[in-house]
Copies of this chain bind each other. A is one copy, B any other.
Amino acid sequence: MGAPKQKWTPDEEAALKAGVHKYGPGKWRTILKDPEFSKVLSSRSNVDLKDKWRNMSVIANGWGSREKARLALKRMNQARKQDESSLAVITEAKSDEKMAEARLATTSIGSPQIGGSKRSIIRLDNLIMEAISNLKESGGSNKASIATYIEVLIFLLSLMSKR
């Protein structure tokens, strides 16, 4: 078997997107011949480009990225199992928001058995929730704001681990 299944790299995906932006979809051979992309996509055929674009389009149209995120969260929750969660409050809240907005079928997100939580943690929760709500209000499509909130989370993390 010659091709053990070659997954697309971010570089290749970027090149494909750029190519479609430049020539439009359906011009696969043209994109491949463009020196700007031919290096990165040298191991891909025009048909490969077409197929990949089809996959990416599915993801872009709503359902894809959400599903991916859902699976990630699901794995995380599963790993947690029956740990007494010190962030019970916040997981409850998040569950509410998610259900309302995303309509997730997997009810497993809940499991908010409240263990012994601590004051500092509760306050942390408020901060985080505020960050999330701000993100949602502001349209949430801006990478800078995403990075900012992630940095906030990192800072909070550092505080907690310092203890």
Contact = CB atoms under 8 A, between A and B. Distances in A.
Contact of A154 (B66, B128, B139): B128
A126 interface: no
A122 to B, nearest CB: 10
Indicate how many identical chains form the complex: 2
A112 to B, nearest CB: 5
Given A142-B66, A154-B112, A101 B9 contact: yes
Interface of A: 1, 9-11, 13, 26, 59-60, 64-66, 68-70, 72-73, 76-77, 79-80, 83-87, 90-91, 94, 97-98, 101-103, 108-109, 111-112, 114-118, 120-121, 124-125, 128, 131-163
Contacts of A163: 163
A53 to B, nearest CB: 14
A120 B72 contact: no
A12 to B, nearest CB: 10
Contact of A94 (B114, B154, B157): B154
Given A87-B154, A102-B10, A136-B143, A117 B69 contact: no
A158 B92 CA distance: 13
Contact of A138 (B59, B102, B125, B153): B59
Given A65-B142, A70-B148, A86 B155 contact: no
A121 B162 CA distance: 10
